[in-house]
Amino acid sequence: MGIHSVAVVGQGYVGLPLSMKIASAGFIVYGIDTNKELITNLKSGVSNIADVDSKEVLEAISKGAYIPSSSYDVLSKVDAIIICVPTPLDEHKIPDLTILDKAIESTCEYLNSNILLIIESTVAPGTVRTHILPKILSLTEFAEDQIRLCFSPERVDPSNLSWNISNTPKLVSALTNRDLEKALDFYSKFVKTLIRCESVEIAETAKLLENSFRLINISFINELSMFCEKLGIDINAVISAASTKPYGFMPFYPSIGVGGHCIPVDPVYLAEKARSINAPMQTIDLSLKINDQMPEYYLRRIESNLGDVKNKRLIIIGVAYKPNVADTRETPVEDLINKLRLKGAKVFWHDNLVNYWKGEASTPLSNMFDLAIIATPHDYLNLSELGNVPILNTRSSI
């Protein structure tokens, strides 16, 4: 029995682009999200994701290929369900599977032994086999061999013009070879390169390795940036020189710290799992600590430039977590702004991609500030609008 209709649970940064890609491959896609305002917008053809044009949503709806819904009832019509909801950290920086668990619970009401259930949300090693599978068994009357459970972690890089869902190699795993083959056949309809993983644990761990690798290297380059600043060396020139080596090196660049939905979060899932089996990963713990300290480091740099920052007018340029996106999730800029305001500084921010954030609007660039701090350098920026305002660039050591 083939797959003709698919439900994608979660219509955010992962789920909506995935829904559009599946719809374009000839499937009927039900896009499910419990955010009713989001679904209302999607039904009107309004995309909430920069990488998905509203025209694409409208076209898919008009063809009957994409049907947004806030109700799980539509699961009774599908052959496969893909869950790609957030798996964030809680207020104590501990992995939080609450949203994923709720999605699983809602899905279980409609599961049957023919539906392929694919998890794309990032989880710790062992989660699919020892957490999700038992949960499904407890909520249904199925025998274990009737549950068709797969894991294929998302690989999404917002605003990346070179790599997308179709040409980014995709890891695919399942609890049984039968379901692995079916998942591979499904994904082959819209992804060029598929990587067959021998177990779900390999796929789970590989996903966490990808972003832990990035965290560790960004942490190291941030430390090296501080070292170069002390010596008066241009860190970017150092990176450029090192990058001429054609093997064994990959460039990473300094910043105010890591942000977004992956790098500050995914390594914690790996580190927590490591602690639970008494195999702690000190490298990850140290890297997280270093990057958490970067806003404090730049606070000291600002005070070194200005002295007492009380009543000084400062503008932070770029509040998104990376250049050329409007995504502010886990942005380290928030911590810097909070620290500066606690010191009495009058802090404004400029980011015309974000526009509104934390109840505030983007402030235009002008010469009316005591210092400008470049946190996220979007391509559109015209720094000449600052006039003679001194600039502290967090992307460079001097």
Quote the CA–CA distance of 291 and 282 in Å, as a whole number: 14
Q: Which of 108, 150, 228, 262 is catalytic?
A: 262
Q: Which residue has the tokens 């006039």?
A: 387
Quote the CA–CA distance of 216 and 283 in Å, as a whole number: 7
Q: Among candidates 194, 203, 197, which has minimal Cα distance to 167?
A: 194
Contact between 100 and 85 under an 8 Å Cβ cutoff? The reply is yes
**211 vs 206, 264, 331, CA distance in Å?**
9, 9, 16
Amino acid at 265: V
Verify whether residue 84 is a known catalytic residue: no
The structure tokens listed for 95 are: 């992995």
The structure tokens listed for 278 are: 């008494």
Contact between 194 and 165 under an 8 Å Cβ cutoff? The reply is no
Q: Among candidates 133, 134, 209, 136, which has minimal Cα distance to 171?
A: 209
Query: Residues near 331 by Cβ (< 8 Å), separated by ≥ 6?
Result: 259, 260, 319, 320, 321, 376
Strand, helix or coil at 355?
A: coil
27 φ/ψ angles, rounded to the nearest 5 degrees: -90, 160
Q: Where are the beta strands (DSSP E) in 101-169?
A: 116-119, 148-151
The structure tokens listed for 76 are: 């009774």
State whether the Cα torsion 231-232-233-236 is positive or negative. positive
Between vectors from CA 252 to CA 245 and to CA 321, what angle results, nearest 5°?
A: 160
Contact between 29 and 68 under an 8 Å Cβ cutoff? The reply is no
Quote the CA–CA distance of 167 and 164 in Å, as a whole number: 6
Residue 220, H or E segment? helix 200-231
What is the arrangement of strands in the sheet containing 194-196, beginning at the earlier edge strand?
A: 66-69, 28-32, 5-9, 80-83, 116-119, 148-151, 170-174, 194-196
Q: Which residue has the tokens 């190699």?
A: 169
- Tell me which residues are annotated as active site: 262
